[in-house]
Amino acid sequence: MINQCNSLGVLNNVKNRPGPIVVDESIKVHEIVYQLFVQKVDHFNLLDDRTFNQRFIVNSKYWNGTGPVFFIINGESSMELDAVISCQYTIWAQKVSALIVSLEHRYYGGSHVMEDMSTDNLKYLTTQQALADCVVFIEWFTTKYYYVPPLSKIITFGGSYAGTLAAYLAMKYPSTISFSVASSAPLNPVVNFYQYMEVIQKTILSLENGEKCLKNIKLANNKIIEMVHDPILTKNITKLFGLCSNIELENDISTFMFEIANAWGTAAQYGNLQPGYPSLDILCKVMVDDSLDPLSNYINVWFRYKNSDDCIDVSYSTMISIFQYSQINHLNTRNDLFNMSRQWLFQTCTEFGFFITSDSFEQPFTNFNFNYQKQICADVFGKKVIQPSISWTLAEYGGVSPNYNSVKNVLFVSSSNDPWSSLSISKSEQYKTVIVENGTHCSDMIPLNNASVPDVSRAQNEIFRYILDVLN
């Protein structure tokens, strides 16, 4: 599972993933337990009285009875205990005597809304419903579960998609939320998200030997495409990359090439967060090894990334069947493949887009275009769901140009090397912003460690000053 401080990731595949950084050795983890809140299924239908159990966890160790509430929004993953004990805001909570509470996102982890996740049953998986969950829960938590004095501030934290929700929550419900810190929040819904790979190329070019690395990536990709279209050589690709079967269809090629690009996307998003995460710098050092040809180096990168010694199935039909799986394993509430991928795909296919493609000439990857990504939506959810109507999302929330008065209580934090940064609010004279130079996805949410880029410390201090201004 990816660290709860960030999301929108593919870290389930990464070898030797590090655990969360412990910020307070005195915390008794066994005392932090999952609890249940009875939540409405549909907040916008007064005649619908159906409910579901939504999970939450609390860390009250630092609260003095009058301090602020740090409300942690969860995104497209199972809520883990580190949501209230391991992120940078836990350090700040000690300093300001804050009560920390985290609410799991509906449909994820153990917060099951329906008996299964068939397409019709996913219709309540929207940002509107998720935001209403937060408001209803906060009102109950601060008046019925804990008595939080009316003058205590409610400060929201979220990273990535959860950062988007943190911004939206403060925008739509300013009477509930005093201040929101939205980290690496993609606010601009775009259907063809080709900019993701462009940022990766820009970051690679900033590295030592970056031009050579980029050149070798392109050479390796071209060689792969040449081989997979050759009836004989395609079998060599199967053996070299440890695939379960030969690549035969065009959609199989796209699925394979997208998986290869994912290795670099993971490094771009999560490198320099903490020791053990792969980084673009590490992968490029492999790619520029002159003792091997570019394809051999590319294969070495692939096996550094994949987390299994078994063969790897990259067939399009297998991927679609996984996304189509709609049953719920109530005994497993962790963020496994069947507990996240279908739900998040539904959100992107209906509301956000965020289809990462290779359609730009300013990036080194190939063969996963916009039509391929649209086809996934149609094949998984039916022909009615081909691509999202992002115009409604833009009209409702404002994208990267929200009304200033609606976001006066939001701090937008982004990182210059984050592939999602092109969809975020970064440098702006109009909005409150903090930029982590050379940082990656949600760099500011991870406590300082040996892998942190130098600017994280400055950015975290600046964020904390904003929080102190609100509390004062």
Alpha helix ranges (H) inside 348-432:
370-381, 390-397
Mean pLDDT calculated for residue range 350-379: 95
Proportion of the chain above pLDDT 70, given as a percent: 93
Mean pLDDT calculated for residue range 429-449: 95
SS3 24: coil
Question: pLDDT per residue over 180-236, tens digit each?
Answer: 999 999 999 999 999 999 999 999 999 999 999 999 999 999 999 999 999 889 999
Residue 10: the pLDDT is 40
Distance separating alpha carbons of residues 298 and 283, to the nearest angstrom: 9
CB 111 within 8 A of CB 330: no
Residues 6+ apart with CB under 8 A from 296: none
Question: pLDDT per residue over 74-124, tens digit each?
Answer: 999 999 999 999 999 999 999 999 999 999 999 999 999 999 999 999 999
Buried b (16+ CB within 10 A) or exposed e, 281-301: bebbebbbeeeeebbebbbeb
Distance separating alpha carbons of residues 220 and 323, to the nearest angstrom: 29
Q: What is the end-to-end Cα distance of the chain in Å, rounded?
A: 37
Question: What homologous superfamily is domain 192-381 in, according to CATH?
Answer: Serine carboxypeptidase S28, SKS domain (1.20.120.980)
CB 186 within 8 A of CB 167: no
As annotated, the residues of the chain forming the CATH 3.40.50.1820 domain(s) are 11-188+391-471
Residues 6+ apart with CB under 8 A from 464: 92, 95
Task: Categorize the per-residue pLDDT at 6 as very low, low, confident or very high, splitting at 50, 70 and 90.
Answer: very low
Question: How are strands ordered across the β-sheet holding 51-59?
Answer: 35-40, 51-59, 99-103, 69-73, 154-159, 179-183, 410-415, 432-436
As annotated, the residues of the chain forming the CATH 1.20.120.980 domain(s) are 192-381
Nearest to 277 by CA among 265, 264, 267, 263: 267
Structure-token pair, residue 29: 């983890």
CB 457 within 8 A of CB 446: no
Q: What is the DSSP string of 160-202?
A: THHHHHHHHHHHH-TTT-SEEEEES---S--SEETHHHHHHHH
For the entire predicted model, the pTM comes to 0.94
What is the identity of the amino acid at 341? S
Average pLDDT over all residues of the chain: 91
Residues 6+ apart with CB under 8 A from 159: 5, 6, 7, 75, 183, 184, 185, 441, 442, 445
Structure-token pair, residue 288: 């520029």
Architecture of domain 11-188+391-471: 3-Layer(aba) Sandwich (3.40)
Mean pLDDT calculated for residue range 438-461: 96
